[in-house]
Amino acid sequence: MTAGGDPADDTAGVLPAFHPALKDELTFPLAWGTSPERDFEAWRRTARATVEEHLLVGRQDDTPYAPEFTARSDGDGYTRELVTLSLTRYGRVRGALLTPHGAGPFPAVLLLHDHGSRFDIGKEKVVRPWYDDARLATAEQWADRHFDGRFLGDELARRGYVVLCADALGWGDREPLTYTRQQALAGNLFHLGSSLAGLLAREDERAAGFLAGLDRVDARRVAALGFSMGGYRAWQTAALSDDIAAAVSVCWMTGLKEMLVPGNNSLRGQSAFHMLHPGLARHLDIPDVASIAAPRPMLFLGGAQDHLFTAEGVRAAHDRLRAVWHSRGAADRLRTQTWPDVGHAFPARMQEEAFAWLGSVTTAPDRPVTGPAPPPRRSRSASCRPRP
């Protein structure tokens, strides 16, 4: 879902005439509360395995990250460096890594950039590019448009978080796309037995593992945060990875049926392929997938003026999420909020609320993150060790 694309594109006639019958067949039988499974942890394992199956991308947990650190410099209270690593066996990925000054280990944020139909910048949408003056001008325009001129990664690093943001395939340093080539890329990956959305999900999951494995990071206090498509990626990563202890999703949550209505942006195709797992809707609705992360702390923020989502879809999704967290006795760990005067944006006042919430669930070293027991503290291999 993206704010970009051709505004003259007619989506009203894209849905087949029989689409109501197809919608009626979507009963989401694996959803918690609908599934015959009554043990929540058993349900989580089954639901996660179902999502994994529909990613169409094999697990890559044994691929060495082999990070290379370059372009190191000091920011305002934090150190900046570029890191190039292997998130899958298919290639190397470049990301920006910010580390607060002082003694760690620190809490951390996996920062996930948006779509926006702007492909020449990726990580630079949320981290100020100290290494490229040409990209800086474009990145500042993006920050002005969506974030009140702020770079989210730099804001978080100044507040004491290690921050990692990597380019997704098609953005920044990774074979930048154009709007009209997205569908071809997705179709060709399907021909190759893979999936664009699945690759994105797998890389985000692996990035979470890399971040949690750094010596400078407290693995118990790693959160995911994103805006727009980055918000989708944030809750999806929390659902797929136990390395994520909490998540903030801004401007991406809806019920599937309420999204697939004439005129909706997703019906154009193109950008939708980054968030489309073929066949998964036969089992789980969008909020059902996010619910795999329950009962870990989750924050969902949106704007009532956001034209990309129907109000009915947002309400339906939030109701579904609240029901799941409530069923786990964890209603206080889930927060959903729609700002009446905000559109598809993440303004500074909304950021302040998100950062305060994030601090309440991640920054106190003596306060265990709520939710499932965290994975054992991993041994620090040379492949994950930061440069001295």
Do 247 and 296 touch, CB atoms closer than 8 A?
yes
Burial 373-383 (b: 16+ CB within 10 A, else e): ebeeeeeeeee
260 within domain boundaries: yes
Cβ pair 170, 159 in contact under 8 A: no
Backbone Cα Rg of the chain: 20
Taking the C-alpha atoms of residue 210 and residue 85, their distance in angstroms, rounded to an integer, is: 9
Question: 236 lies in a domain?
Answer: yes
Rounded Cα distance, 31 and 288, in Å: 6
Of 266, 259, 238, the closest CA to residue 333 belongs to 238
Residue type for position 178:
T
Residues with Cβ within 8 Å of residue 125, at least 6 apart in sequence: 113, 114, 116, 118, 139, 142, 143, 146
Tell me, yes or no, whether 368 lies in a domain: no
Whether the per-residue pLDDT at 2 is higher than 70: the answer is: no
Alpha carbons within 13 angstroms on the beta-carbon side of residue 105 total: 22
pLDDT at 10 over 90: no
Domain membership flag for residue 141: yes
Q: What would the pLDDT profile of 104-143 be if each residue is shown by its tens digit? A: 899 999 999 999 999 999 999 999 999 999 999 999 999 9
For residue 364, the model assigns a pLDDT of: 55
Domain count, the chain: 1
Does residue 6 carry a pLDDT above 70? no
Domain harbouring 355, CATH code: 3.40.50.1820
Which residue, 83, 61, 62, is CA-closest to 72?
A: 83
Structure-token pair, residue 305 = 């003026």
pTM of the model: 0.92
Q: Which structural domain, as residue segments, surrounds residue 118?
A: 21-361
pLDDT digits (tens, 9 = 90+) for 135-178: 999 999 999 999 999 999 999 999 999 999 999 999 999 989 99
* Cβ neighbours for 188, distance < 8 A, ≥ 6 positions apart: none
pLDDT tier for residue 363 given thresholds of 50, 70 and 90 = low
Q: Kindly state whether residue 329 falls inside one of the protein's structural domains.
A: yes
Q: Which is nearest to 335 in space by CA: 257, 253, 275?
A: 253
Is residue 375, in this structure, part of any structural domain at all?
no
Look at residue 55 and tell me if it is in a domain: yes
219 within a domain of the structure (yes/no): yes
